[in-house]
Structure 1
Amino acid sequence: MPFTLSAPAHSESLIKKSRFIGCVEPMADRASAQRRVAALRAEHPTATHVCWALMAGGHSAANDDGEPGGTAGRPMLEVLRHHDLEGVLATVVRYYGGTPLGAGGLVRAYSDSVAQALARAEKVPLVRWRALRCVLPYALEGWLRRELEAQGARLVDAQHGNGVTVSLRVPETQAEALVARINDAGQGRIEWLEDGTESSREEP
């Protein structure tokens, strides 16, 4: 099961007079990550490098920010991948201390900065939720509410007209089974409208 983080966590280390300030935090997509990195640059205007790595599905990315290729962003991304994280941004701000670390030293420094921050972070399960909408007979509303509670799903909205139009959030792993149970209970009287998938922490 993939995990994300409940809150940001930080680390700081001094290696051959270079200062490394690490941070790991929940982050949904690349645009949000880039805004966060821009904010870090503003907070640390005299820093030599602000390297980052984002593990977020199709939005995943890594940036060395002027360090030799493959010595910063990619190793940071590998640490996130090793911890089975999703929706997490890792950043490391470096103030150069005047002594070169070499490629191997840089890889270790950036990897360790992220690992040390993760050691202070609280990991929480990442649940993929499916949004479902359907129209069902009034007679089934009470049954559906009880069924949702049993399945760990959520009733987001219920509108009453000719039937009851309900919006649901269901853990993706249970969505197909729940749809089948609703269809069985409805005996052909269920009208499905739309659905979608999203990721969030354990709590919807």
Structure 2
Amino acid sequence: MSYQIPCSPVVTETEEKKSRFICWLGPVTDKAAFLHELELIRSRYPDASHHCTALVIGNPSNPQTMQSDDDGEPGGSAGRPMLELLLKQGVGNVGAIVTRYFGGTKLGVGGLMRAYRGAVGAALQSAELTTFIPLLAVRIVCDFAEESRVRFLVAQCRGVCEDAVYTHQVSVPVQLPQDQWPTLRAQLQAEGIRFEELEAT
């Protein structure tokens, strides 16, 4: 349900056998925005050897988007260990870009995996993370006499009532934290108030 997300971008630098690894790690909810950030970093470090990436959009236990790229490093030696670390740490809506300046000594596949994973690990340690709780959209249908009670119950569960539609009954769109929904649902069921679960965001 809930997962960790970075609050703002960080940049850290690590070194392995004279190769420099500069890691940008930051919040990402859109693949196009991440690719734009990658282009900015490519232009900032035009003489770098590689720009390897990992991206997780959505909940890391079941991501909407998940991808990695080795950018010319041996297959599976850079992007994949970066991605695996983000997933293992339970961080979502996050992108990592590791820029490598080759230091003259080949690291081998195992060394590269450790170095790229370590670069992302250092950035995660520097980053401020916060808990993200997905929101759930619900529509509650009630009689006019029940509307104030519905609004009270929603507020108790840290939810927000949006603009209601009034016909022969009241239809109230609601957004609330997903972890609060079982409590509200039980209260609505106990009072015989109808509802429709829409979607999580």
TM-score (norm 1): 0.83
- SS where residue 60 of structure 1 aligns? strand
Letter in structure 1 aligned against 2:20: R
Q: State the Cα deviation string for residues 87-132 of structure 1 (Å, max 9, x = none).
A: 1111101122332222222112111111111111112112122111
When the two structures are aligned, how many residues end up with a matched partner?
195
Q: Which runs of 5+ in 2 are unaligned?
A: 58-62
Letter in structure 1 aligned against 2:83: L
Q: State the Cα deviation string for residues 39-68 of structure 1 (Å, max 9, x = none).
A: 322332222111011123031111101001
Is the 8 Å Cα contact of residues 29 and 59 (structure 1) preserved in structure 2? Answer: no
Please provide the CA RMSD for this pair: 2.2
Following superposition of structure 1 onto structure 2, how do residues 163-178 of structure 1 map, counting pairs within 5 Å?
A: 163-178=169-184
Following superposition of structure 1 onto structure 2, how do residues 68-147 of structure 1 map, counting pairs within 5 Å?
A: 68-147=74-153
Is the 8 Å Cα contact of residues 19 and 102 (structure 2) preserved in structure 1? Answer: yes
Letter in structure 2 aligned against 1:158: A
Whole-angstrom distance in 2 between the partners of 1:43 and 1:167: 46
Is the 8 Å Cα contact of residues 30 and 60 (structure 1) preserved in structure 2? Answer: no
Following superposition of structure 1 onto structure 2, how do residues 138-157 of structure 1 map, counting pairs within 5 Å?
A: 138-157=144-163
- SS where residue 65 of structure 1 aligns? coil
Following superposition of structure 1 onto structure 2, how do residues 11-26 of structure 1 map, counting pairs within 5 Å?
A: 11-26=12-27
Whole-angstrom distance in 1 between the partners of 2:6 and 2:117: 18
Is the 8 Å Cα contact of residues 157 and 183 (structure 2) preserved in structure 1? Answer: no
Letter in structure 2 aligned against 1:17: K
**Per-residue deviation, 1:160:** 4.3
Identity of aligned residues (%): 35
Whole-angstrom distance in 2 between the partners of 1:43 and 1:158: 50
TM-score (norm 2): 0.85
Q: Which runs of 5+ in 1 are unaligned?
A: 199-204
